[in-house]
């Protein structure tokens, strides 16, 4: 086991599904949510989180679908007791969206209705980085910027300034006697947020951005990891035999594909396991084949290797 001074220690986390620590809902559909459970069974991931916290650098996560990229950030926030903000990047995401968004349509409508606000800030919405830097209530934050590779390369490059200086200029003049460039939102290094960035590696990220990140590559979950995830999500409803059988089927589907990264994810494994448990469908039966098709295989049959 790696020995170092941890700021983030998942071993200190109290499992939310443990009957000893929390009241468990006896209803058959009560399971832990994704942001309540993350299996930190890779010491390298825990170390990377701590390095990111100590250096103030963003934590960049690579890995196939289902490797836990998106669920790591909310669970780190939960364990640390910090606020959590997120933004899912799309092809339409602009660099400013992570800082603020200006509602031009609302302002136009107000102007046409002669209800225009004198304060321009009324038409701005704070983005995740603004909220994290502002630290309402004095609470530090974890910020998830999900699937950054979906955006134009200008977006990651645009983050270098705010994340490097832990500050950015506001887009308007707060005071008539104050220059707009002097109106700045900033946070000190000791109170900096943890910024977690994920990518599916569909587009190469700019090298200057990579150099300023702590980089971790997550592997596709193996059977042991899947069982730990199932136990954490299902709590006292966890059936190791059933969980193991469903995991074997998932790994079998994954092995039949040309691209392992395109195989069933951990979320799909949990869907199949919960459905099998709730519906009383036994793996290996004709009913299971139908269930497997809609939860694990879906439209992946075309990617199977030839016999």
Residue 83, helix vs strand vs coil: strand
Domain end residue (candidates: 217, 242, 258): 217
Note whether 59 and 88 are same-domain residues: yes
Considering its fold, how many domains does the chain have in total? 2
- Pair 44, 153 in one domain: yes
Cα distance between residue 63 and residue 216, in whole Å: 8
In a shared domain, residues 111 and 236: no
Same-domain status, 286 and 191:
no
Q: Map residue 176 onto helix, strand or coil.
A: coil
Residue 1 within a domain: no
Does 59 map to a domain?
yes
Residue range 193-227, pLDDT digits in tens: 999 999 998 889 999 999 999 999 998 889 999 99
In whole angstroms, what is the distance from residue 168 CA to residue 187 CA? 10
Q: What range defines the domain where residue 294 resides?
A: 223-303
95 and 171 co-located in one domain: yes
Average pLDDT of 143-163?
A: 92
Residues 6 or more apart whose Cβ sits within 8 Å of residue 218 = 42, 45, 61, 62, 63, 64, 67, 68, 69
pLDDT score at 177: 47
Same domain, yes or no, for 189 and 229?
Answer: no
Phi-psi category of residue 220: left, alpha or beta, with phi > 0 → left and psi -120 to 50 → alpha: beta
Q: Give the domain CATH number at 103.
A: 3.40.50.300
Do 246 and 210 have their domain in common? no
Give domain status of residue 102, yes or no. yes
Whole-prediction pTM: 0.82
Task: Check whether residue 239 and residue 263 sit in a common domain.
Answer: yes
Contact 249, 275 (CB under 8 A): no
pLDDT for the residue 123: 76
Q: What is the pLDDT of residues 6-57, one digit of tens each?
A: 999 998 765 443 333 333 333 445 566 665 678 888 899 999 999 999 999 9
Please state the rounded mean pLDDT for residues 146-171: 90
Structure tokens at 218: 């997550």
Nearest Cα residue to 89 out of 216, 214, 200, 169: 200
Is the pLDDT reported for residue 180 higher than 60? Answer: no
Nearest to 71 by CA among 99, 100, 104, 34: 34
Mean pLDDT of 260-268: 77
Bridge-based pairing of strands 167-169 and 184-186 is antiparallel
At residue 63, does pLDDT exceed 70?
A: yes
Higher pLDDT, 72 or 17: 72
């Amino acid at each position: 086991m790696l020995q170092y001074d941890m700021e983030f220690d998942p071993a200190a986390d109290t499992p939310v599904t443990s009957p000893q620590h929390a009241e468990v809902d006896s209803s058959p559909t009560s399971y832990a949510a994704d942001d309540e459970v993350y299996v930190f069974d890779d010491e390298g991931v825990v170390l990377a989180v701590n390095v990111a916290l100590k250096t103030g650098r963003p934590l960049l996560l690579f890995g196939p679908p289902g490797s836990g990229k998106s669920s790591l950030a909310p669970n780190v926030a939960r364990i640390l007791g910090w606020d959590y903000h997120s933004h899912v990047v799309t092809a339409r995401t602009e660099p400013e969206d992570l800082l603020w968004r200006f509602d031009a349509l609302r302002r136009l409508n107000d102007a046409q209705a002669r209800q225009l606000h004198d304060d321009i800030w009324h038409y701005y919405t704070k983005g995740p980085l603004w909220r994290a830097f502002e630290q309402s209530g004095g609470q530090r934050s974890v910020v998830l910027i999900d699937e950054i590779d979906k955006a134009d390369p200008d977006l990651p490059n645009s983050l270098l300034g705010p994340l490097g200086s832990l500050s950015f200029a506001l887009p308007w003049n707060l005071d008539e006697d104050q220059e707009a460039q002097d109106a700045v939102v900033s946070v000190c290094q000791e109170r900096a947020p943890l910024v977690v960035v994920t990518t599916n590696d569909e587009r190469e990220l700019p090298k200057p951005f990579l150099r300023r990140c702590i980089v971790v590559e997550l592997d596709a979950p193996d059977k042991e990891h899947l069982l730990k995830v199932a136990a954490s999500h299902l709590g006292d409803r966890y059936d190791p035999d059933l969980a193991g059988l469903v995991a074997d089927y998932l790994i079998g589907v994954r092995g039949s594909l040309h691209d392992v990264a395109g195989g069933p994810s951990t979320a799909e494994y949990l869907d199949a396991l919960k459905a099998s448990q709730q519906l009383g469908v036994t793996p290996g039966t004709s009913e299971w084949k139908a269930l497997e098709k809609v939860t694990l295989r879906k439209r992946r049959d075309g990617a199977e290797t030839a016999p």
